[in-house]
Structure 1
Amino acid sequence: MGSWAQRMHRRAASVVTCGHPGGVPYPHRLEKVKFGVNLDEVCKPEYPSIPGPLLVLILKLNKEAPLRKDVFRAPGHQGAMKKLIHFLQAGRLVNVDNYSVYTIASVLKKFLRKLPNGIFGREVETELFRIIEIEDELEKQTRIH
């Protein structure tokens, strides 16, 4: 190997997977997305982050949803949703360009609906409902922060 090839090989060997220090540079399987479990189990405590495949769906929505109308109201294609959910649960590589924004939004809505205690948990959700009833706007903002 020439000096350029050696440098490239060293750089490729030092690559770490996103959010996983010391991980395998090119894992054989992606993280599996678990539907219907607590958010703590989906976002592991040792790596407090959103699983990669789920993050890709969120980023796709962030990029394309503002350009579309009623993204979270219109239903996605049922067959494509089932296929996408299966791929996410199995940890298979997904090409999100093959799915419409409406299908991706429907899969994310389904994921969020299946969280047993909601996104915030029961205690925080109850507190948010109490804060909504406060008349003073400044007090509301302070309590939410």
Structure 2
Amino acid sequence: MMSSLARRMATSSLCGASQTQHSATTSTALPYPTRMEKVKFGIPLETVCGVHNDIPGPLLVMILKLNKEAPFKKDVFRAPGHQANMKKLVHFLQNGRLVNIDNYSVYTIASVLKKFLRKLPSGVFGPERESRLFQIIEWQNADDKRQEMHRILTSLPVVTQHLLVLLFGTFRAMATSS
């Protein structure tokens, strides 16, 4: 089964291939895509991911790069990224421009990801769920905690669940390697 990102990339590749054949006679289209999905900052996650109901490709690539490289670096989410590069990367993401993520350090990528998450209007969980999570921490019974956490996580939109899986996986990889 193909993931939605893989399906979108395959579709755009196929569409690009047919445009390329057609453009051989018209020479107006480029042989590669020049735009990606836009990653808007400061709007709800469901709106950012609304078109395909999945995490936008550029955001996914950033998280995957962190998952791959951050475990071997120190203080990735503490050290600040390069300010000019952060500004440039945010601009590219918001405008849907193609980005070569290899041109950016993991510190810059982590800072941009933190900025994206910080600017979500009601956070990742929402105010009610977040306050409930803090209440659960105080509970003594581990089984009750686990069941309530499960209930909260499964009540989140699927896109938010996907984002949390990626983030928790990255955090776990970093924690195990330190």
Give the alignment's TM-score, normalised by structure 1: 0.81
Amino acid in structure 2 at the alignment position of 1:29:
R
Shift of 1:143: 1.2
Q: Structure 1, unaligned stretches of length 5 or more?
A: 1-15
Aligned to 2:22: none
Give the aligned partner of residue 113 of structure 1.
Answer: 118
State how far apart, in whole Å, the 1-side matches of 2:6 and 2:127 are: 31
Aligned-residue sequence identity (percent) comes to: 64
Where does the alignment leave 5 or more consecutive residues of structure 2 unmatched?
Answer: 17-32, 151-178
- Evaluate the alpha carbon distance shift between residue 50 and residue 135 of structure 1 in structure 2; reply closer, same or farther with a 3 A threshold: same
Out of 95, 98, 103, the residue aligned to residue 103 of structure 2 is 98
Q: 1:17 to 1:124 in 2, by over 3 A?
A: closer
- Structure with higher helix content: 2
Contact 1:72 1:102 in 2 (8 A): yes
Distance in 2 of aligned mates of 1:71 and 1:21: 29
- Report how far residue 137 of structure 1 moved: 1.6
**Structure 1: 4+ residue segments shifted above 3 A:** 16-28
AA aligned opposite 1:63:
K
Q: What residue identity is the alignment partner of 1:31?
A: E
- Residue 21 of structure 2 is matched in structure 1 by none
- 1:31 matches 2:37: yes
Structure 2 contact 41–94 (Cα < 8 Å) conserved: yes
- Report SS of the residue matched to 2:136: helix
The higher-RCO structure (CA 8 Å, 6+ apart) is 2
Matched-pair contact (CA < 8 Å) for 1:72–1:106:
yes
- Secondary structure (helix, strand or coil) at the match of 1:18 reads helix
Rg larger in 1 or in 2?
A: 1
Question: Which residue of structure 2 lines up, in the alignment, with residue 141 of structure 1?
Answer: 146
Are the structure 2 counterparts of residues 68 and 104 from structure 1 closer, same or farther at C-alpha, using a change threshold of 3 Å?
A: same
Separation in 1, partners of 2:126, 2:139? 21
Q: 1:48–1:67: structure 2 CA closer, same or farther, 3 Å change rule? A: same
Partner-residue secondary structure (3-state), 2:145? helix
Residue pair 1:17, 1:23 contacting (<8 A) in 2 also:
no
Deviation for aligned residue 1:131: 1.1
Query: Does the CA contact (< 8 Å) of 1:17 and 1:24 recur in 2?
Result: no
Query: Is the CA contact 1:30–1:53 (under 8 Å) kept in the aligned structure 2?
Result: yes
